[in-house]
A and B are shown apart, each in its own frame.
Chain A
Amino acid sequence: MYVAVKGGEKAIDNAHKLLKEKRRGDTQIAEITTGQISEQLTLAVDRVMTEGSLYDRSLAALAIKQARGDLIEAIFLIRASRTTLPRFGYSKPVETDKMELSRRISATYKDLPGGQLLGPTFDYTHRLLESELETDQPASQQHRGILSDQNSIDSTDVKSEIANEEQTIAAPIIPHVLDLLGEEGLMEPPSNEPKDHEPEDLTRQPLSFPASRDLRLQNLARGDEGFLLALGYSTQRGYARNHPFAGEIRVGTVAIEFEPEELGFAIEIGEIELTECEMVNQFKGSEKAPPQFTRGYGLTFGHCERKAMSMAQIDRSLRAEELGEQKTAPSQDGEFVLSHSDNVQATGFVEHLKLPHYVDFQSELELIRRMHQEHDAASPESDQQAKDMTTHEAAE
Chain B
Amino acid sequence: MSEYNFAYLNEQTKKMIRRALLKAVAIPGYQVPFASREMPMPYGWGTGGVQVTASILTPDDILKVIDQGADDTTNAVSIRKFFKKTAAIETTELSEQATIIQTRHRVPETPLREDQILVYQVPIPEPLRFLEPRETETRKMHAYEDYGLMHVKLYEDISQHGHISTTYAYPVMVEGRYVMDPSPTPKFDNPKINNCPALQLFGAGREKRIYALPPYTKVTSLDFEDHPFEVQKWQASCELCGTSGTFLDEVITDDKGGRIFVCSDTDFCRKQQSEKFEEAG
Give the interface of A toward B (CB within 8 A): 1-2, 4, 6-9, 11-12, 76, 79-80, 82-84, 86-87, 203-210, 335, 339, 344-345, 347-352, 355-360, 362-367, 370-371, 374
For A9, A11, A76, A345, the residue with the greatest tally of chain B CB atoms inside 10 Å of its CB is A345
Beta-carbon contact of A356 and B73 below 8 Å: yes
Number of interface residues of B (CB under 8 A): 66
Q: What residues on A are CB-neighbors of B45 within 8 Å? A: 348, 352, 355
> What CA separation (Å) do A87 and B68 show in the bound complex?
37
Beta-carbon contact of A84 and B8 below 8 Å: yes
Beta-carbon contact of A4 and B266 below 8 Å: yes
**Contact with A11, one of B12, B74, B187 (Cβ below 8 angstroms):** B74
CB proximity of B52 to chain A, nearest CB, Å: 15
**Contact with A359, one of B4, B39, B68 (Cβ below 8 angstroms):** B68
> What CA separation (Å) do A4 and B260 show in the bound complex?
11
B232 interface residue (CB < 8 Å to A): yes
Q: What residues on B are CB-neighbors of A366 within 8 Å? A: 167, 232, 234
Q: What residues on B are CB-neighbors of A347 within 8 Å? A: 42-43
**Contact with B69, one of A1, A79, A352, A359 (Cβ below 8 angstroms):** A359
Q: What residues on A are CB-neighbors of B206 within 8 Å? A: 345, 348-349
Beta-carbon contact of B260 and A12 below 8 Å: no
Q: What residues on A are CB-neighbors of B35 within 8 Å? A: 203-206
Beta-carbon contact of A358 and B232 below 8 Å: no
Q: What residues on B are CB-neighbors of A370 within 8 Å? A: 163
- Taking chain B's interface residues, is the majority helix, strand, or loop, or is none over half, making it mixed? loop
B253 interface residue (CB < 8 Å to A): yes
Closest residue of chain A to B247, judged by CB? A359
Beta-carbon contact of B240 and A209 below 8 Å: no
Q: What residues on A are CB-neighbors of B169 within 8 Å? A: 360
CB proximity of A161 to chain B, nearest CB, Å: 31
CB proximity of B254 to chain A, nearest CB, Å: 11
Task: List 21 interface pairs A-B (beta carbons < 8 Å), by A numbering.
Answer: A2-B251, A2-B262, A4-B240, A6-B72, A7-B72, A8-B77, A80-B38, A83-B39, A206-B35, A348-B43, A348-B206, A349-B43, A356-B74, A358-B68, A359-B69, A359-B185, A359-B247, A359-B249, A363-B167, A363-B188, A367-B163
B96 interface residue (CB < 8 Å to A): no
CB proximity of B51 to chain A, nearest CB, Å: 10
CB proximity of A199 to chain B, nearest CB, Å: 15
Mark out the residues of chain B between 218 and 251 whose CB falls within 8 Å of any chain A CB in the assembled complex. Answer: 232, 234, 239-240, 247-251
Beta-carbon contact of B248 and A362 below 8 Å: yes
Inter-chain pairs besides A8-B72, A209-B135, A359-B106, 5 sampled, C-beta below 8 Å: A8-B73, A84-B8, A210-B136, A347-B42, A367-B163
Q: What residues on B are CB-neighbors of A344 within 8 Å? A: 38, 42-43
B194 interface residue (CB < 8 Å to A): no
Q: What residues on A are CB-neighbors of B162 within 8 Å? A: 371, 374
Please judge, given known A-B contacts A345-B43, A359-B168, A363-B167, whether A79 and B68 are in contact too, CB under 8 Å. Answer: no
Please judge, given known A-B contacts A84-B4, A84-B10, A209-B136, whether A8 and B76 are in contact too, CB under 8 Å. Answer: yes
Q: Which 7 A-B pairs have the closest CB atoms?
A: A348-B43, A352-B44, A348-B42, A363-B167, A349-B44, A79-B38, A206-B208
> What CA separation (Å) do A203 and B37 show in the bound complex?
8
Q: What residues on B are CB-neighbors of A1 within 8 Å? A: 239-240
> What CA separation (Å) do A374 and B12 show in the bound complex?
56
Closest residue of chain A to B32, judged by CB? A206
Q: What residues on B are CB-neighbors of A360 within 8 Å? A: 105, 167-169, 184, 186
Please judge, given known A-B contacts A2-B251, A371-B162, whether A80 and B72 are in contact too, CB under 8 Å. Answer: no
Beta-carbon contact of A335 and B134 below 8 Å: yes
Beta-carbon contact of B135 and A359 below 8 Å: no
B36 interface residue (CB < 8 Å to A): yes
Beta-carbon contact of A9 and B187 below 8 Å: no
Please judge, given known A-B contacts A83-B38, A84-B5, A362-B250, whether A12 and B168 are in contact too, CB under 8 Å. Answer: no
**Contact with A358, one of B12, B42, B264 (Cβ below 8 angstroms):** B264
B195 interface residue (CB < 8 Å to A): no
Q: What residues on B are CB-neighbors of A356 within 8 Å? A: 67-68, 73-75
> What CA separation (Å) do A9 and B79 show in the bound complex?
11
Beta-carbon contact of A371 and B72 below 8 Å: no
Beta-carbon contact of B37 and A359 below 8 Å: no
Q: What residues on A are CB-neighbors of B106 within 8 Å? A: 359
Closest residue of chain A to B5, judged by CB? A84
For B44, B136, B188, the residue with the greatest tally of chain A CB atoms inside 10 Å of its CB is B44
CB proximity of B154 to chain A, nearest CB, Å: 14
B176 interface residue (CB < 8 Å to A): no
Q: What residues on B are CB-neighbors of A2 within 8 Å? A: 239-240, 251, 253, 260, 262
CB proximity of A292 to chain B, nearest CB, Å: 30
Closest residue of chain B to A201, judged by CB? B35
Beta-carbon contact of A76 and B72 below 8 Å: no
B123 interface residue (CB < 8 Å to A): yes
Beta-carbon contact of A371 and B163 below 8 Å: yes
Q: What residues on B are CB-neighbors of A205 within 8 Å? A: 35
